[in-house]
């Protein structure tokens, strides 16, 4: 049971990163459907950084500096995904292109980039398996907190995770605080609800949109990194990340555009995603049906939130629409 | 006092944007074609940098990837190209009516898979029971119904409760994928694969297994074009797309239009799935549609919701896809290179809309004289 919960949390963290990032972006009025691609790019940037660092240390653990081993992939993932966010915001904010189409193109492009560089790295190491293992870097990422092994189930449930897992929760709480309690958050929400009003109030709409999208993308990219380094133990293989990016976008609606709700939602999604592995007595074919659960639950939540029509549960009013100042 | 200060500090930005709506259609298309060409050559140059081949040999490799060797003039490769274009085109015209009323149907993938699965089930279960013409009819009808049902569920909720259709249709994709996996486990046993089924395949005409697919899709394209442009339904769709309030004022039942159009959209996707299963693979797999549902959305946008233009656009996207896959293959690069190529070109074309809709006015250097 404990194993099931920890696995669920590990599965949920990439979605939590993705959802927090997407909430920040959507609050500025931009529906970024490029998140799945951006998470791939974040993952592969981190993997490339870790790969280069491991190689520069001659693949010997003793030569590696624990701080740099974590810091380099971390920064690479943030930069890689922020650049993708920058491309997306250039097209949708400055060029005012259609957000759905741009987002889908970014997803195609990003998944292509991820798999392309992944395959190139795999070819570089000449391994027999179609994957690349960075277990040394992964070990640094997964350093447990002190006492994790001594405190039994409590230690396993709360202290045994990699630092990105804790970071995801912290970022979600910070994002929630910034959005609801600070001036910057208020301005950002104003931009998403009614950019014309925000503009008239002297808020730099373009700047807010750019920053929200790029920071959101960087946060989402960390989700890709966490998947590779913590969930997959530093093992990258093409297409392994799967559809978690889309789940993250669904989680945004599940969480009603509130990052702190997304924390619980992400862990619930994680639990649903691998429920089929822990339910006894299921045939292989029934397991496949159980894998539908997270999607079905998302659909049900979508329907219920739209049926209840509470004002605070609605998406930003200007979501998906471009803003042009001279338009009335 | 304030006035003086104002004049002193009056700064004009270097340029500002003006909306324009007077652009001629040919000028707009010139810009789009330029964007496509820039994208194409950008892909070529990236290929050159990666493979260290010359431009002409890159273009030749791309051509070879699509049409086969030039001297041999392989018609088989060419027909494979037409077939892939036809399927992408079918999905693109399927999502177009929905797009035109601003209903973001991201579920073409799942709707086609549902249609394909329905065809597959008929082929396996009824293959030896029904006479061939009747079997064909059942296959076609069941795949149309399956696709339409998959498409209409999100539409009903959108019409009734304004549920977000982008995510609803997206989730329906995965539900369909899992159902197909389930079916593969049941029918395929341990291998979870279904061997090609001989019963209930679409007839082969003119000795060419793809000919019928291409003809069906071309006819459908023409029909959708006429439906959107000349029928009352098509008019209602474009009014709903422009403004739902306007549509309500002039007495259009918006909910009815949503549901009706999504039935059509899903049915067309179902036909695409049927063409893939009964007309091409004779088997099914979770990868049968292979992400083309998403590419179709972009093709529909590139074609500006005009089904006839989409013929060219889908041919172009498939050309890029097959061509760059061949470049990647012949130079030992990963096949995902094709995704990158398609992504680049689509981004450029989407971005070029900016120059069609807006005009950049630079600050005039002449100072205005204030009196």
Per the DSSP assignment, residues forming a β-bridge with A132 are A236
Question: A-chain residues within 8 Å CB-CB of B164?
Answer: 253, 302, 306, 315
Number of independent structural domains in chain B: 1
pLDDT tops 90 at residue B43:
no
* Longest CA span, chain A: 65
The ranges assigned to domains in chain A are 2-313
Pick from A33, A285, A298: which is nearest to B171 by CB? A298
Mean pLDDT of A138-157: 69
Q: How many residues does chain A have?
A: 328
Per the DSSP assignment, residues forming a β-bridge with B205 are B208
pLDDT tops 70 at residue A156:
no
Q: Which residues contact B334 (CB under 8 A, 6 or more apart)?
A: A115, A116, A118, A119, A120, A238, B328
pLDDT at B1: 44
Residue B326 Cα, gap to closest chain A Cα (Å): 14
Q: How far apart are CA B178 and CA B186, in angstroms?
A: 12
Instruction: Quote the percentage of chain B above a pLDDT of 90.
Output: 30
pLDDT at B335: 75
Q: Which residues contact A167 (CB under 8 A, 6 or more apart)?
A: A222
pLDDT at B118: 93
Is B297 in contact with A327 (Cβ distance < 8 A)?
no
Question: A-chain residues within 8 Å CB-CB of B172?
Answer: 295, 299
pLDDT at B44: 86
Q: How far apart are CA A326 and CA A117, in angstroms?
A: 43
Report yes or no on B315 lying in a domain: yes
- Residue pairs between chains A and B whose CB atoms are closer than 8 Å: 153
Residue A268 Cα, gap to closest chain B Cα (Å): 17
Q: How far apart are CA A206 and CA A118, in angstroms?
A: 34
Q: How far apart are CA B343 and CA B353, in angstroms?
A: 16
Inter-residue contact B144 to B271 (CB < 8 Å)? yes
Inter-residue contact B258 to B247 (CB < 8 Å)? no
Enumerate the H helices of chain A as residue ranges.
Answer: 2-27, 35-56, 66-89, 99-125, 135-141, 152-158, 163-181, 183-193, 195-200, 205-226, 244-254, 259-273, 275-278, 284-290, 293-308
Report the CATH number that the domain containing residue B136 is assigned in CATH.
1.10.3470
User: What is the SS3 assignment for B15?
Assistant: strand
Q: Which residues contact B69 (CB under 8 A, 6 or more apart)?
A: none
Return mean pLDDT, chain A.
Answer: 84
Residue B330 Cα, gap to closest chain A Cα (Å): 15
Structure tokens at B274: 């049927």
What would the DSSP string read from start to end of A294-327? HHHHHHHHHHHHHHH--GGGSPPTTTT----TT-
Closest among A274, A250, A247, A252 to A262, alpha carbons compared: A252
Binding-face residues of A in 251-290 toward B, CB within 8 A: 253, 284-286, 288-289
Taking only the tens place, the pLDDT of each residue in B159-187 is 988 888 888 898 899 899 889 988 888 88
Question: B-chain residues within 8 Å CB-CB of A324?
Answer: 17, 19, 358
Binding-face residues of A in 229-248 toward B, CB within 8 A: 238, 243, 246
pLDDT at B303: 86
Per the DSSP assignment, residues forming a β-bridge with B208 are B205
What would the DSSP string read from start to end of B257-299? HHHHHHHHHHHHHHHHHHHHIIIIISS--TTSSTTHHHHHHHH
pLDDT tops 90 at residue B288:
no
Question: What are the Cα distances from residue B19, in Å, to A96, B361, B364?
Answer: 12, 10, 18
Instruction: Quote the percentage of chain A above a pLDDT of 70.
Output: 91
- Which range, A151-160, A303-312, B12-21, B260-269, has the best average confidence (pLDDT)? B260-269
Binding-face residues of A in 134-193 toward B, CB within 8 A: none
Report yes or no on B11 lying in a domain: no
pTM of the model: 0.86
pLDDT at A328: 57
Q: How many residues does chain B have?
A: 371
Taking only the tens place, the pLDDT of each residue in B66-91 is 777 655 556 777 888 888 999 999 99
pLDDT tops 90 at residue A39:
yes
Report yes or no on B14 lying in a domain: no
The number of C-alpha atoms within 13 Å of A321 and in the hemisphere containing its C-beta is: 16
Mean pLDDT of B355-367: 74
Give the Cα-Cα-Cα angle B297, B313, B165 (nearest 5 degrees). 10
Question: What letter would DSSP give residue A93?
Answer: I
**What would be the CATH architecture of the domain defined by A2-313?**
Orthogonal Bundle (1.10)
Structure tokens at A301: 């939540």
Is B168 in contact with A104 (Cβ distance < 8 A)?
no
Q: Residue B251: left (phi > 0), alpha (psi -120 to 50), or beta?
A: left
Binding-face residues of A in 3-62 toward B, CB within 8 A: 31, 33
Question: B-chain residues within 8 Å CB-CB of A113?
Answer: 336, 340
- Residue B341's CB: how many other CB atoms inside 10 A? 29
Mutate to test the interface with B, among A104, A289, A296 (most CBs of B within 10 A): A104
Per the DSSP assignment, residues forming a β-bridge with A237 are A131
pLDDT at B235: 92
Question: B-chain residues within 8 Å CB-CB of A108?
Answer: 291, 294-295, 298, 339, 342-343, 346
pLDDT tops 50 at residue A300:
yes
Taking only the tens place, the pLDDT of each residue in A69-86 is 888 889 999 999 999 999
Taking only the tens place, the pLDDT of each residue in A110-133 is 998 998 888 888 877 776 666 777
What would the DSSP string read from start to end of B160-198? HH---HHHHHHHHHHHHHHHHHHHHHHHHGGG---PPP-
Domain range for B125 is: 20-362
The number of C-alpha atoms within 13 Å of B79 and in the hemisphere containing its C-beta is: 13
Closest among B166, B99, B111 to B305, alpha carbons compared: B99
Per the DSSP assignment, residues forming a β-bridge with A133 are A235
Q: Which residues contact B167 (CB under 8 A, 6 or more apart)?
A: A249, A250, A253, A298, A302
Axis-axis angle for helices A205-226, A66-89 (nearest 10):
140
Report yes or no on B260 lying in a domain: yes
Report yes or no on B4 lying in a domain: no
Inter-residue contact A256 to A5 (CB < 8 Å)? no
Report yes or no on B277 lying in a domain: yes
Q: How far apart are CA B85 and CA B80, in angstroms?
A: 9
Is A116 in contact with B175 (Cβ distance < 8 A)?
no
User: What is the SS3 assignment for B19?
Assistant: strand
For residue B277, with 0-12 CB atoms within 10 Å meaning exposed, 13-18 middle and 19 or more buried, which class applies? Answer: buried
Inter-residue contact A23 to A257 (CB < 8 Å)? yes
pLDDT at B2: 47
Inter-residue contact B347 to B3 (CB < 8 Å)? no
pLDDT at B73: 56
Inter-residue contact B250 to B239 (CB < 8 Å)? yes
Residue B234 Cα, gap to closest chain A Cα (Å): 22
Inter-residue contact B173 to B113 (CB < 8 Å)? yes
Range with the poorest average pLDDT among A289-293, B120-124, B225-229, B251-255: A289-293
Is B342 in contact with A108 (Cβ distance < 8 A)?
yes
- Residue A170's CB: how many other CB atoms inside 10 A? 11
With tokens 């989680």, the residue in question is A251
Mean pLDDT of B322-345: 82
Is B295 in contact with A108 (Cβ distance < 8 A)?
yes
With tokens 């007077």, the residue in question is B22
Per the DSSP assignment, residues forming a β-bridge with A236 are A132
Question: B-chain residues within 8 Å CB-CB of A112?
Answer: 336-343
Question: A-chain residues within 8 Å CB-CB of B340?
Answer: 109, 112-113, 116
């Amino acid at each position: 049971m404990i194993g099931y919960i920890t696995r669920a949390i590990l599965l949920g963290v990439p979605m939590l990163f993705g959802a927090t990032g997407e909430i920040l972006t959507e609050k500025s009025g931009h529906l970024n459907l490029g998140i799945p691609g951006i998470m791939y790019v974040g993952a592969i940037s981190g993997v490339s950084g870790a790969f280069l660092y491991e190689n520069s240390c001659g693949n010997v653990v003793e030569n590696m500096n624990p701080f740099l081993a974590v810091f380099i992939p971390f920064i690479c993932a943030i930069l890689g995904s922020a650049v993708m966010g920058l491309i997306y915001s250039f097209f949708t904010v400055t060029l005012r292109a259609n957000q759905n189409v741009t987002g889908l193109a970014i997803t195609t492009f990003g998944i292509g980039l991820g798999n392309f560089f992944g395959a190139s790295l795999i070819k570089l190491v000449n391994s027999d398996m179609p994957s690349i293992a960075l277990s040394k870097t992964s070990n640094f990422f997964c350093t447990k907190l002190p006492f994790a092994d001594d405190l039994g189930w409590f230690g396993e449930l709360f202290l045994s995770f990699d630092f990105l897992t804790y970071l995801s929760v912290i970022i979600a709480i910070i994002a929630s605080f910034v959005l609801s309690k600070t001036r910057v958050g208020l301005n950002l929400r104003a931009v998403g609800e009614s950019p014309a009003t925000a503009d008239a109030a002297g808020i730099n709409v373009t700047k807010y949109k750019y920053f929200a999208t790029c920071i959101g993308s960087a946060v989402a990219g960390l989700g890709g990194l966490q998947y590779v380094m913590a969930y997959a133990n530093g093992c990258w293989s093409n297409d392994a990340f799967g559809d978690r990016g889309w789940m993250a976008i669904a989680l945004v609606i599940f969480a009603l555009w509130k990052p702190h709700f997304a924390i619980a939602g992400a862990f619930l999604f994680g639990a649903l995603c691998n429920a089929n592995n822990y339910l006894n007595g299921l045939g292989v074919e029934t397991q496949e049906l159980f894998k539908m659960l997270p999607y079905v639950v998302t659909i049900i939540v979508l329907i219920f939130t739209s049926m209840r029509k509470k004002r605070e549960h609605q998406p930003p009013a200007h979501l998906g629409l471009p803003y042009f100042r001279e338009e009335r | 006092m304030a006035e003086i200060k104002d004049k002193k500090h009056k700064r004009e930005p270097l340029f500002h944007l003006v909306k324009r709506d007077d652009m001629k259609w040919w000028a707009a298309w010139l810009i789009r074609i330029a964007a496509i060409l820039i994208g194409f050559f950008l892909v070529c140059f990236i290929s050159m940098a990666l493979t260290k081949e010359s431009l002409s040999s890159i273009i030749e490799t791309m051509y070879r990837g699509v049409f086969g060797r030039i001297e041999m003039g392989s018609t088989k490769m060419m027909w494979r190209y037409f077939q892939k274009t036809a399927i992408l085109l079918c999905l693109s015209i399927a999502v177009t009516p929905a797009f035109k009323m601003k209903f973001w149907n991201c579920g073409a993938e799942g709707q086609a898979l549902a249609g394909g699965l329905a065809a597959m089930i008929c082929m396996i279960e009824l293959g030896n029971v029904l006479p061939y013409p009747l079997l064909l009819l059942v296959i076609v009808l069941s795949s149309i119904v399956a696709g339409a049902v998959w498409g209409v569920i999100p539409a009903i909720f959108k019409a009734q409760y304004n549920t977000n259709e982008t995510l609803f249709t997206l989730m329906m994709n995965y539900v369909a994928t899992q159902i197909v996996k389930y079916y593969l486990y049941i029918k395929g046993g341990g291998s979870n694969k279904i061997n090609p089924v001989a019963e209930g395949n679409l007839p082969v005409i003119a000795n060419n297994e793809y000919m019928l697919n291409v003809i069906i899709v071309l006819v459908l394209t023409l029909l959708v074009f006429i439906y959107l442009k000349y029928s009352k339904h098509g008019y209602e769709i474009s009014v709903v797309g422009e403004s739902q309030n306007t549509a309500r004022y002039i007495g259009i039942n918006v909910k009815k239009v949503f549901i009706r159009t999504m039935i059509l959209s899903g049915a067309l996707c179902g036909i695409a799935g049927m063409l893939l299963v009964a007309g091409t693979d004779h088997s099914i797999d979770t990868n049968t549609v292979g992400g083309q549902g998403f590419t179709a959305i972009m093709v529909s946008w590139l074609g500006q919701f005009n089904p006839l233009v989409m013929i060219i656009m889908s041919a172009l996207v498939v050309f890029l896809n097959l061509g760059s896959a061949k470049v990647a293959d012949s130079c030992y690069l990963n096949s995902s290179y094709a995704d990158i190529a398609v992504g680049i070109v689509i981004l450029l074309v989407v971005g070029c809309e900016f120059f069609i809709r807006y005009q950049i006015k630079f600050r005039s250097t002449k100072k205005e004289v204030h009196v």
